[in-house]
Amino acid sequence: MKAVVWEGKPFQMVVKSQPMPKIEDPNDVLIRITTSAICGSDLHTYRGLLGSRNPPWIMGHEGVGIVVQAGQGVKSLKAGDHVTVGCLISCGYCDNCLRGRLTYCLTFNPQTPFDIIGYGDDFGPHLEGAQAQYIRIPFADSTCLKLPPGTEHELDYITLCDIFPTAWHALDCSGFQPGDSVAVFGAGPVGLLCAYSAVLRGASKVYIVDYIEARLKKARSIGAIPINFTEGDPVSQILAYEPRGVRRSCDCVGFECLNAELEPQEDVILNHCVNVTEPTGGIGVIGVYLPSTGPTRGAPLSTGKEGKFTVPVGLIWAKSLSINGGPAEVRRLQPQLQDLIESGKAKPGFVIDEVFHSLDEVPDAYRKFAARQITKPVIRLPHPNSDLDQQNGLVSNGA
C-alpha cells in the first residue's frame, strides 16, 4: 500500500510503498482509509521537534474509513462499517478507562502516558498512522467510533478524530460556563473550533488572537472578535473591550508560539492567558508542550529545553486562577459531538479549506500547511468500490 512516511529528516515527508497491516490480535480491526488529514501537531514532527526516537513511521492520527476486516474478539464492528480510525488507543476496561480518562489507558503500553497513532513506537508499539491506504487499530470496540454509512458529513466527521474534541476539551479545561467571555489564542484549526465551540455553548463574547488574515477572517465569520497580535499587545486590545479581563482563556497553540515580532517565544501565550483572565477565572491549555524527558524528546531538533520557561506564579496565585490542560479525552467526547453534527447544530468542517485527492500530494500539502498557506488540509482517497480490498485479499461486504 501507499503511505506518507517520516524518515527522521526535518521538513521532509515521503510517499512510499509500505507493507499492508494485518490483524495481530482478536480485538483489532483493519480499516481502509477514505479520508485523512494533516494536524497542526503533525507539523511539530515535520519540523523535527516531536516524535519517536526511532524513525521511520507512517504519519497521521486523523482518519475516517471502512472496516475491511475485524478480529474475532471485536463485538461492535464488522466489515463494511464506517468508522473513525481512533487516534488515541483505549482498552475500555482499565482503571483510567473506567474513570472516563480513556486517553490515559493503562493497558496497551504502560510505559507511555498515552498511546497515539502516527508518532512512532515510543508512543505505542506497532501503531502506524492514518496517512495511508490502510491502518490497523487495536482495541477497536473502545477506540473506534461507528459512523452512519455514506459521505454526507465526511468532512465534519474527520474533525471528530482530534481537532473538534480537542477544541471542546480546551473549554472544559478552562472551566467554561454558558455566559462566560473567552479569549482563544491561536486561530489554527483547533483555535477556530475552540471559538466555534464557545459560541455553540453560549459564550457572551469570544475573542480570538492570531496574525494570519485568512484565519482571522474565518474567525469573524463564526461570530468571534479577531485580534491581530502584530498590531499591538493582544492583552491590551482585549482589555479595551473587557476591562476586568475575560472569564476564560484557552491556549490552542502550544510550544511553537510566536511573539509580536513573529519570533519563537515559548512562554508568550501562557503569560498572555494569565494577564488577560479575570480573578477566579480559568485557563485551558491544549496546545502541545514538550516535557524535558520522555518519548516526546525523540525528534532530531528538540533540545530538552522545551517546556521549561517562566510563568507569573505570583499573579496566578493572587488572581486565584485555575489552569488545566493536556491531551483531550477524544473518545469520550466524540458521541456528543457526533450528535451535534448529525442534528445540524454543528458544522466543524468549515475549518477545512483545501482537499487533496492523492497521497502523492501530501508532501506538498505539508509544505503549504507549515507555511500557513492552508488552515486545514484533508486528503480524500478515491476508493469508489472494493477493488483495492479484493487485490489485497480482503472482504469488504460490498462497502
Mean per-residue pLDDT for 145-162? 95
Residue 230 and residue 261: Cα distance in Å, rounded? 7
Mean per-residue pLDDT for 114-130? 90
Please state the φ and ψ torsions of residue 81, each to the nearest 5 degrees: -70, 145
**Closest-CA residue to 73 (of 135, 140, 124):** 140
Contact yes or no for 249/283 (Cβ under 8 A): yes
C-alpha cell, 147: 459512523
Span 156-186, pLDDT tens digits: 999 999 999 999 999 999 999 999 999 999 9
Query: Based on C-alpha coordinates, what's the Rg of the chain?
Result: 20
Fold entry, domain 2-162+330-391: Quinone Oxidoreductase; Chain A, domain 1 (3.90.180)
CA 77 remoteness from chain centre: 24
Q: Does residue 111 carry a pLDDT above 80? A: no
Contacts of 224 (CB under 8 A, 6+ apart): 184, 195, 198, 199, 206, 207, 208
- The whole-chain average pLDDT of the chain stands at 93
User: Which residue ranges does the chain devote to CATH 3.40.50.720?
Assistant: 163-325
Instruction: Please give the CATH architecture assigned to the domain spanning 163-325.
Output: 3-Layer(aba) Sandwich (3.40)
Give the global pTM.
Answer: 0.94
User: Which residue ranges does the chain devote to CATH 3.90.180.10?
Assistant: 2-162+330-391
Contacts of 277 (CB under 8 A, 6+ apart): 183, 245, 246, 247, 248, 249, 283, 319, 321
Contacts of 250 (CB under 8 A, 6+ apart): 170, 171, 173, 174, 182, 183, 184, 185, 191, 194, 273, 283, 284, 285, 286
Q: Does residue 398 carry a pLDDT above 60? A: no
| Amino acid at position 119, single letter | Y
38-41 long-range Cβ contacts below 8 angstroms, 24+ apart? 38/62, 38/131, 38/362, 38/365, 38/366, 38/369, 38/376, 38/377, 38/378, 38/379, 39/162, 39/163, 39/189, 40/188, 40/189, 40/190, 41/288
Name the pairing type of β-strands 181-185 and 246-251: parallel
Span 240-289, pLDDT tens digits: 999 999 999 999 999 999 999 999 999 999 999 999 999 999 999 999 99
**139: pLDDT confidence band, cut at 50, 70 and 90?**
very high
**296: pLDDT confidence band, cut at 50, 70 and 90?**
low
C-alpha cell, 179: 455566559
23-27 long-range Cβ contacts below 8 angstroms, 24+ apart? 23/69, 23/70, 23/71, 23/136, 24/126, 24/136, 24/138, 25/71, 25/73, 25/138, 26/71, 26/72, 26/73, 26/74, 27/71, 27/73, 27/74, 27/138, 27/139, 27/140, 27/141
DSSP secondary structure string, 182-195? EEEE--SHHHHHHH
Residue 76 and residue 57: Cα distance in Å, rounded? 29
Span 66-108, pLDDT tens digits: 999 999 999 999 999 999 998 999 999 999 999 999 999 998 7
**387: pLDDT confidence band, cut at 50, 70 and 90?**
low
Neighbour-count burial for 94-106, b at 16+ CB within 10 Å, e otherwise: bebbeeebbbbbe
pLDDT (0 to 100) of residue 399: 38
* DSSP designation for 116: B
Please state the φ and ψ torsions of residue 292, each to the nearest 5 degrees: -75, -15
